[in-house]
Amino acid sequence: MSDTSERLREQSPARNAPRTRVLEERTAAAPAGITARPAGAAAPLSFAQQRLWFLDRLGPGNAAYNLPYALRLSGPVDLDTAVRACQALVRRHETLRTAFPSVDGEPTQTIAPADTHVWEPRVVDLRGADDAEEQARRLAAQDARAPFDLGRGPLLRVTLVALAERETVALITLHRIVADDRSMTVLTDEFRRLYDAFRTGGADPLPPLALQYADYAHWQRERFAGGAADRVAHGPAHWRERFSGELPSLRLPTDCPRPTVRTYAGRTRSFALSAEVTAGLRELGGAADATLFMTLLAGYAALLHRYSGQDDIVVGTSVAGRDRPETEPLVGPLANTLALRTDLAGDPTFRDLLVRTRRACLADFAHQDVPFARVVEEVRPDRDLSRAPLFQTMLSLHDAPRPAPDPAGPRVGPFSGEGRTTALYDLSLHVVDEGDRLRCAWEFNVDLFADATIERMAAHFERLLLGAVTDSGLPLSLLPLLSEPERTEILNRDNLVSVEVAPDTCVHHLFEEHVRATPDAVAVVDGEDRVSYRELDRRAGIIAARLRALGVGPESRVGLCAPRCPDSVAALLGVLKAGGAYVPLDPAHPEDRLRYMLADASVRLLLTRHDVVASVPGLAEGMSVGYVDDWLAEGAVAARDEPAAVPPVRHAEPDADNLAFLVYTSGSTGRAKGAMLTHGALMSAFRSWERVYGLGTVVRRHLQAANIAFDVFTGDMVRALCSGGTLVLCHREALLDPARLYTLLQRERIDFADLVPVVIRRLSAYVAEQGRMLDNFKVLAVGADIWFMQDYWNLAKLCPPRTRLVNSYGVTESTVDSSLFETAMPERADEEPVPIGRPLPNTQFYVLDDRLQPVPLGVNGTLYVGGLALARGYVGRPELTAERFLAHPFSQRPGARLYNTGDLARMLPTGDVEVLGRVDRQVKLRGFRIELEEVESVLGLHPDAQDAAVIVREDALGERRLAGYVEPRPGRSPDPVALLQYLRTQLPYYMVPSTITLLERMPLNANGKHDRKALPAPAPAADAVERPAAGFATATQERVARIWAEALGADVVTAEDDFFQLGGDSLPALRVLFALRRAFGVDLPLITLFEATTVEELARRVDLAASAPA
């Protein structure tokens, strides 16, 4: 990017005035010019060099900080003259003869004498080769990727490749510790002048350099060493203020899980902004008295805001750092990095955002000479090895290179190689101003983003900018991202699949059809009890007749509080036959909760049993009670004595809009809320299941595993009994015991089951340990919670190929199930969630932003569900119903609605939807946003973990910390310390729980999900011992603490003290490692101190290294 003065040239003199004043003030306040360092003075590293040296030590052998160039020389080239010109450049610039060895853990630089330094470029002659161009491209790629040894040097490679008599390629690679982009311009210009002079027999035409880069580094160190001008002292304070408070970390949605240690594998993708957009940006910036860079920054921040949902965006940029004339001819890393923070809160218009951006840029550019390494030291961001500090994306703007006028020698242009294969940041946008248009290139990390995602992002960026220049008064949320074809495709993808639902048919009618067709077929199995369709219908008819006699009809709400048994199934069918709606209740729930739900649902008649009332004595107070056991006993006697006394029940026919059942779910306010499901919604759900699962043809024997009070119980019942299948009841004791569950599955030849992930994990572990298979399943659905690809593959190994493994997703408010996924995705990582797939017939999925607009593919939003299976709403909660059930903005059907699930989701390029967690399960600790599901998934992947949960707890001092809980696999006894160490290898440190507590059994609620409220207080740290607060448990800890104190100049008083919280940084870290090498004879890599950040953790690493065999 150009420096400040070049930015100012973009504008007319009138508009330049405020920025020109800033530049003049900076120049006037600058200290005296740079002079050569005193003879014999040590050559210190500049701040930039020190940071680059540290990064190299953090990842030795990394070519990410190489600076490769490939130039095509068109015309006759004398290779001997070119070699001589290159050697003259190396003699001229000390940086090209510099190495950076470590002395006692500290970086130093050594400069080889010009008169004795031996270096020459490599010459490769490919003239006459058929594939000369291809060979040159391979050479360019190899040279760009080859790492440098900073301790030995040289840190410059030049390869001259002769392609033909008049075609030569120059491959030049430098390390960024000795050069920056502007340095390459200096070297290119000087090479041209040297070559032209030597070619004609002339002498070196370049005037001697008054300064070398080491002089600049010495001046810079002196300037920031204290006693500097007030302006310099004020610079760090400016950046401290800019980054005070919570530091944002860019959370762009990625195509791959973020590696725990940052990688630099990259690629570039080019695109161009149209002439219309380019002209509009110039005009828009001019009207706001903003430079083109500021306008682009506002647009880029707006794009990142729309992709991430974040209101606080930090973008990095680079300034040339050559405002002083004496720095112009230097070769070295003079460029400085700025972290530009943009406030997008409040959904501003683009015009207002540009005003904010301009104001922030002017303030930040006024302090651009504070080295970025100093800014990081001042701000002290929390360390995260998976991300760059302060920002994760860059924006640069360059002017298009101007061709040299009438070159006497060969014409110089770019050589098209393979493009960059590294990316310093997650994502960078490089823009070249070509006048009538802006040529852009994304540089992106391929371990995070797919090519298609970047290409879509380019299109969205241009569309957003076009919207901004067309109407800069639009709020950011209304600037278009999607083209009309893209929007139509996203809205309609898999949302137009339908299945016919007869408006006058209810599920109990379908059950009765099977009673007539196969009366003696087994309908329900409960242990040894087998109930035929004829018998189940008889019992349901008895209950329906009694209910009709009591006045039950459409919209009547009948409670059922009874255990899981065939009579309870008959009772539910009886309520439907009578035309009423059932409200299922679990007798095991607290009495107060049961009474609340009965009152909230306006239940006047309760079906139950005597044993239930005996255990919950206050349950039936104030309402009519029908005892199912009595009614059925009396009906059996009547049928035996007077067969005609129990006539078929005369239906009071409900319509599709009448209630079928009412189910309670937990509420965020702490009070359960009742979702009202209609006959039409239930019939739509059944017809969808019938089509996608092959009910009645492919699958016949259904496991009923859900609690009676939950919607999935109804789903199990309807899938089986409305398709002529058999419903096998599975009691809680068997569900939670994998051995008993497996026995039941095998004995009853279950071919369809819908189980929750925690049950599947336990069952899979048991079956695998027993060396058996789950060979009866035709369809095995897993739902009601997020599960992960490793679980999927573990389960797939235990099932025959014919088994359909399905991830089903649903919410009560959309009648049990809304989607399914069953396509294997071998490219997905083990820790990624299994997608929830695509909507069922008659159901629509939409991933929307806060303004109910569709988000692009891959971008996070809130999942909304539409279709015929939606609930009527919440009983007695009109405000909540209006909040969660919205008018359908994309449907032409009268009365159509959408339900806000509250699930954070995104649509994958395949068309499948992926749920990432609950919007409300995101927590923030120490300024970091953490998805607890992510920590749980990684902890659950440990081979010793059967199940895992993570919650936020307050410790004795009131500090909120993560607490982990693990249920070990059978026969395993994992060490909590080892589990924590494992997490530290998988997650950023701030996502690692403070404690791990082992549980004999993970507490589950009645629906098989984690009961987080029942998790006990965390166990003390597993490796903690009773000791005074200021003491240390081992001699190693004590010596490590002393080394820290010496390196940091700070008191280290406990084993839990954190290196970086005590003020540790790059150089102190290196001093610590050098001191550990002397004290213990161990050679630990630099990354160790970022992984083991406390005295206790580092001491353990030292002990392990010291005890390791040589």
Residue with tokens 């009109």: 878
Domain that holds residue 931: 926-1014
**Which of residues 290 and 918 earns the better pLDDT score?**
290
Q: Is residue 844 part of a domain?
A: no
Residues 6+ away with beta carbon under 8 Å from 200: none
Q: Which of 173-177, 239-243, 826-830 is predicted least confidently?
A: 826-830
Residue 1090 CB partners (closer than 8 Å, separation 6+): 58, 383, 385, 989, 1069
Tell me what pLDDT residue 22 has.
46
Split into its structural domains, the chain has a count of 4
Is 25 within the bounds of a domain? yes
Return d(Cα 1100, Cα 1080) in angstroms, integer: 12
201, 218, 235 - which closes a domain: 218
- Is pTM, for the whole model, over 0.85? no
On whether residue 253 sits in a domain, the answer given is: yes
Q: How high is the pLDDT of residue 1020?
A: 57
Residue 231 has pLDDT above 60, yes or no: no
Q: H or E stretch including 341?
A: strand 336-343
Scan for tokens 């218009």, then name that residue.
Answer: 349
Q: What is the DSSP letter of 834?
A: P
The reply to whether 1048 and 974 lie within a common domain is no
C-alpha span between 1064 and 1056 (Å, rounded): 15
Q: Which residues pair with 1100 in a beta bridge?
A: none
Radius of gyration of the chain from its Cα atoms, rounded to whole angstroms:
36
Q: 999 and 1061: one domain?
A: no
Distance CA 821, CA 810 (A): 12
**The pLDDT value given to residue 230:** 42
Distance CA 30, CA 22 (A): 12
Confidence band for 809, pLDDT divided at 50, 70 and 90 = very high
The CA–CA distances, whole Å, from 1012 to 602, 948, 950 equal 30, 11, 8
Q: In this structure, what are the phi and psi dihedrals at residue 608, rounded to the nearest 5 degrees?
A: -160, -165
pLDDT in tens, 79-136: 999 999 999 999 999 999 999 998 888 899 999 999 888 899 999 999 989 899 999 9
Instruction: Report yes or no on 274 lying in a domain.
Output: yes
Evaluate whether residue 559 is within a structural domain: no
711 backbone φψ class: left, alpha, beta (φ>0; ψ -120 to 50): alpha
CA distance 69 to 174: 9
Phi/psi for 1105 (5° steps) reads: -65, -40
Query: pLDDT for 1-24, tens place per residue?
Result: 444 444 433 443 333 444 444 444
Identify the pLDDT of residue 1109.
Answer: 76
pLDDT of 641 reads 61
**201 shares its domain with 240:** no
Phi, psi torsion values for 440, nearest 5 degrees: -125, 155
Selection from 989, 1102, 977 nearest residue 1037 by Cα: 1102
Longest dimension (CA), the chain: 128
User: What is the per-residue pLDDT across 383-417, written as a single tens digit (0 to 9) for each?
Assistant: 788 899 999 999 999 988 766 555 566 788 888 76
Both 985 and 1063 in one domain: the answer is no
Q: At 57, which CATH number?
A: 3.30.559.10
Please tell me whether residues 280 and 302 are part of one structural domain. Answer: yes
Residue 1007 and residue 1051 in one domain: no
Q: What is the mean pLDDT of residues 631-642?
A: 76
Question: 21 and 57: one domain?
Answer: no
Place of tokens 């029940």: 649
The token duo for 287 is: 């009207």
What pLDDT does 995 receive?
87
Tokens of 125: 């002659």
Q: What is the CATH number of the domain that holds 1063?
A: 1.10.1200.10
965 shares a domain with 1068: no
Domain boundary among 447, 481, 515: 481
Cβ atoms of residues 995 and 1019 within 8 Å: yes
The closest of 711, 715, 708, 709 to 689, measured between CA atoms, is 715
Looking at the predicted structure, is the pLDDT value of residue 519 above 70?
yes
Residue 769 lies in a domain: no
Residue 296 lies in a domain: yes
Whether residue 37 is contained in a domain is answered as no
What's the Cα-to-Cα distance from 383 to each of 195, 262, 961, rounded to whole Å? 48, 12, 17
Alpha-carbon distance of 865 to 891, in angstroms, equals: 12
Question: Does the structure show a pLDDT above 70 at 778?
Answer: yes
In a shared domain, residues 442 and 470: yes
Question: What are the counts of helices (DSSP H) followed by strands (DSSP E) for the chain?
Answer: 33, 41
* Total residues found in the chain within this entry: 1110
Gap between the Cα atoms of 374 and 874, Å rounded: 57
CATH code for the domain in which residue 343 is found: 3.30.559.30
| Site of tokens 């549980």 | 999
* Predicted local confidence at residue 648, as pLDDT: 58
Same domain, 335 and 386: yes
Residues 885/873, Cβ–Cβ less than 8 Å: yes
Residue 1000, domain CATH: 3.30.300.30
SS3 labels along 46-78: CHHHHHHHHHHHHCCCCCCCEEEEEEEEECCCC
Where a domain ends, among 193, 218, 243?
218
Asked if 265 and 294 sit in the same domain, the reply is: yes
Q: Are residues 202 and 232 in the same domain?
A: no
Pick the more confident residue, 42 or 302. Answer: 302
Q: What is the pLDDT of residue 229?
A: 45
